[in-house]
Amino acid sequence: MESKRNVGIYVRVSTTNQVEDGYSISEQTDKLRKFCDVKDWNVYKVYTDGGFSGSNIKRPGIELLIDDVKNHNINTVLVYKLDRLSRSQKDTLFMIEDIFNKNDCAFISLNENFDTSTAFGKAMVGILSVFAQLEREQITQRMQMGRVGRARNGLFNGSQVPMGYKYIDSRLIVDELTAPIIKDIYNKYLDGWSLNKLLVYLNENGHLGRELPWNFHVLRYVLTNRTYIGMVGYAKQWYQGQHKPIISIDKFNNVQKMLGERALKNSNYTNNPRPFRSKYLLSGLLRCGKCGSNFDMGISKNSKTGKVINRLYRCHLRSSYHVKMAGLPESSRCTTSKTYSMTKLEQKVINRITKLSFDDGKLSKLLDRNGHKVQDPTPVLNRLSDIDKEVSKIMDLYTIANLPIDAINERSAKLAEEKNSLQIKLKDIEAEKANQGIIDFKKHIKQAPSVFENGTLEEKKRFINQLVNSIILDDNKMTIQWNFG
């Protein structure tokens, strides 16, 4: 037996004289109360928003209604028309899915015979979500067009104003207090200062121009930001701005040239012929077991000849200098002093992977069902799409051909039941796909001997990254976290 309905009636008009489309607040309320009387439902409260637009849900009546729904004072919300709740499909869907459904509260619109407690109503929510998504995309598209238009007109679009400027009346204005710091950074870099020396200088002088300490990424952003030469950017495109430049174009171009030259020099020093691309087998995978930081590569040299005698992996935060450059307190420095020979550590990882590739017993423990074939989800997805189309056709027949509501509800209920069954099946297939990931892992790792014996450095690196999520080093202990499942 159905539990007693405790109803919250919501009424709204957007005009201040309380009349819209021929229905005043009192007329809407009267019709909805009579509907409740016929159904023998209890009216808990009437929530009224007179003189409020339906373009958003920031209304006092709606806020009271939401509170009572969340407190389970009502289990049904009743409106005269859907647009009384909101004229926005996006907001209507939010109210139904995130407020009503999550609190086991039905939503009914009298005029459209819309009831989320029925199969037909549930199907309608799916249709509503399609239009809500379309509405969101249209809003996003309009916003993007507006931002592109602003950029083409030379106006700043960013959420964070670049240091050296203030944002006043929708325009960038040179900040006389911080603009000299930007000029000083460019001048010192052109005078031969390194990025590291600049970082020390800026931080030791009280984080010049910033509340937070300077770090490498912020400094490099300042040195490559075209805003300082009077341009504005949006979506990776740059346009001539209306604001006053802080840096001349010649000076900016000279800095870019010097950045490139220094990057190339550094790549030659570390014996990496591909700048900005790591040539080390385990780069990006190593983590410190004590502090969680990444590892970087260092070198040891012969003190007399200057010749490199060893390459090492080491915790990035073991050095006070790196802690300082990251803008972190000295207490963040890692306690480990251990370094790892690059050659020995890489070979150790290769040996571990190769050994696992031959250990069928250990690999079998990773599998739930060896050799299971995953079902293709395409037919299920196609049928779900067909059901959505059928529901749409049913709605057209209901509104255009005026078919009996009983016939509509019967067909909609069958479609909703089938859709629910297919969605469960789809979840099962997705679960099987996760299991298939383990099977693929086993097939992949079997290639280890061949790859490590015959592959190039890039092929070995790619192969390891496909198998390994991370490698945690804690003194002499090495833990490999695998990419399977």
Query: Tell me, what's the pLDDT at 271?
Result: 47
One domain, residues 255 and 360: no
Contacts of 222 (CB under 8 A, 6+ apart): 162, 163, 182, 185, 228
Kindly state the DSSP code that residue 373 receives in the 8-state scheme: P
* Distance, CA of 447 to CA of 463 (rounded, Å): 9
What's the total number of domains in the chain? 3
Task: Measure Cα distances from 149 to 109, 145, 233, 240 in Å.
Answer: 41, 6, 11, 12
One domain, residues 238 and 325: no
282-296 per-position pLDDT tens digit: 888 999 998 888 888
Last residue of a domain, one of 233, 249, 269: 269
Last residue of a domain, one of 85, 102, 117: 117
One domain, residues 206 and 335: no
Phi-psi sector, 202: left (phi>0), alpha (psi -120 to 50), beta: alpha
One domain, residues 379 and 424: yes
Query: Tell me, what's the pLDDT at 431?
Result: 62
One domain, residues 262 and 295: no
Query: Tell me, what's the pLDDT at 405?
Result: 56
Task: Measure Cα distances from 477 to 207, 290, 459, 472, 481 in Å.
Answer: 39, 11, 27, 8, 13
Reduced to 3 states, what is the DSSP secondary structure of residue 188?
A: helix
* Distance, CA of 96 to CA of 303 (rounded, Å): 73
Identify whether 261 is part of a domain.
yes
One domain, residues 362 and 475: yes
Last residue of a domain, one of 251, 269, 287: 269
Identify whether 101 is part of a domain.
yes
Q: What are the φ/ψ torsions at residue 171 (nearest 5 degrees)?
A: -135, 150
Would residue 88 show up in a list of annotated catalytic residues for this protein? Answer: no
Query: Tell me, what's the pLDDT at 276?
Result: 40
Q: 132, 45, 34: which is closest to 86 by C-alpha? A: 132
Angle, alpha carbons 233-235-237 (nearest 5°): 50
Give the domain extent around 81: 6-117
118-159 per-position pLDDT tens digit: 877 777 776 765 665 666 666 667 777 878 888 889 899 877
In CATH, what number is assigned to the domain containing residue 214? 3.90.1750.20
One domain, residues 263 and 308: no
Query: Tell me, what's the pLDDT at 326?
Result: 66
H-run or E-run covering 334 = none
Task: Measure Cα distances from 165 to 84, 159, 175, 202, 476 in Å.
Answer: 46, 13, 5, 18, 51
One domain, residues 204 and 308: no
Identify whether 371 is part of a domain.
yes
Q: Are 29 and 46 in contact (CB under 8 A)?
A: yes
One domain, residues 405 and 303: yes
Q: What is the mean pLDDT of each run of 10 residues along the chain (485 residues)?
A: 82 65 78 90 93 81 94 94 80 88 91 82 69 63 78 86 92 94 95 85 78 82 95 89 96 94 64 50 88 84 71 86 73 87 89 82 58 62 80 61 58 72 75 58 80 83 88 91 72
* Distance, CA of 239 to CA of 157 (rounded, Å): 12
Check 14, 117, 283, 332 and give the catalytic one.
14
Contacts of 475 (CB under 8 A, 6+ apart): 289, 336, 338
Query: Which residues does residue 472 pair with via DSSP β-bridges, in sequence order?
Result: 287, 479
Beta strand pairing call for 76-79 and 106-109 = parallel
Q: 194, 178, 181: which is closest to 325 by C-alpha? A: 194
Task: Measure Cα distances from 330 to 295, 298, 317, 326 in Å.
Answer: 18, 21, 10, 10
Identify whether 45 is part of a domain.
yes
Identify whether 431 is part of a domain.
yes
* Distance, CA of 53 to CA of 259 (rounded, Å): 55
Contacts of 413 (CB under 8 A, 6+ apart): 118, 119, 120
Identify whether 131 is part of a domain.
no
One domain, residues 198 and 307: no
Identify whether 393 is part of a domain.
yes
State pTM to two decimals: 0.42
* Distance, CA of 291 to CA of 474 (rounded, Å): 10
Identify whether 141 is part of a domain.
no
Query: Tell me, what's the pLDDT at 270?
Result: 46
In CATH, what number is assigned to the domain containing residue 43? 3.40.50.1390
Query: Tell me, what's the pLDDT at 404?
Result: 57
How is 62-114 classified by DSSP, letter by letter?
A: HHHHHHHHHTTS-SEEEESSHHHH-S-HHHHHHIIIIIIGGGT-EEEETTTTE
Q: Are 156 and 124 in contact (CB under 8 A)?
A: no
One domain, residues 264 and 236: yes
Contacts of 54 (CB under 8 A, 6+ apart): 12, 14, 83, 84, 85, 86, 87, 88
One domain, residues 305 and 415: yes
